[in-house]
A and B are shown apart, each in its own frame.
Chain A
Amino acid sequence: MDEQKQNELTEKYLNATSTLQEEEELFNTDSPEAWATFVQKQKKRIPEGLEREVMSAIGKKAKSKRRFLNRTLPIAATVALLLSFLFIPSKEKEMTYEQKVELLEQALSGFQEKGNPIPERNVIYEDELLVVYLTNN
Chain B
Amino acid sequence: MDTTEFEQKVVSLSPRVYPMVVRLLGDQDRAKDAVQEVMLKLWDKRRQLGKHPNINGFVFLTAKNYCLDLLKRSRPLVIAIDGSTSLFTDTGSREPMEYEELQKAIRSILKSLPAPQSEVLIMRDLDGMEFNEIAMVMNLKVEHLRVLLSRARKQVAKQLKTTFCYG
Q: What is A's interface to B at a CB cutoff of 8 Å?
A: 13-17, 20, 23-24, 32-35, 37-39, 41-44, 46-47, 50-51, 53-55, 57-58, 61-62
Q: In the complex, what residues of A have CB within 8 A of residue B43's CB?
A: 58, 61-62
Given A37-B102, A42-B87, A54-B39, does the pair A47, B32 have CB atoms closer than 8 Å? yes
| Cα distance, A93 to B115, chains bound together (Å) | 80
| Cα distance, A118 to B87, chains bound together (Å) | 105
Give the interface SS of chain A, mostly helix, strand, loop or mixed. helix
Q: What is B's interface to A at a CB cutoff of 8 Å?
A: 3, 6-7, 11-12, 14-15, 18-19, 22-23, 28, 32, 35-36, 39-40, 43, 87, 91, 95, 99, 102-103, 105-106, 124-126, 128, 130, 145-147, 149-150, 153-154, 156-157, 160, 163-164, 166-167
Nearest to B103 among chain A residues (CB) is A38
17 residue pairs A–B, Cβ–Cβ below 8 Å: A14-B153, A16-B146, A16-B150, A16-B153, A20-B128, A23-B124, A24-B128, A34-B102, A34-B105, A35-B157, A38-B103, A47-B32, A51-B7, A51-B15, A54-B39, A57-B40, A61-B40
Return B40 CB to nearest CB of chain A, in Å.
6
| Cα distance, A20 to B22, chains bound together (Å) | 20
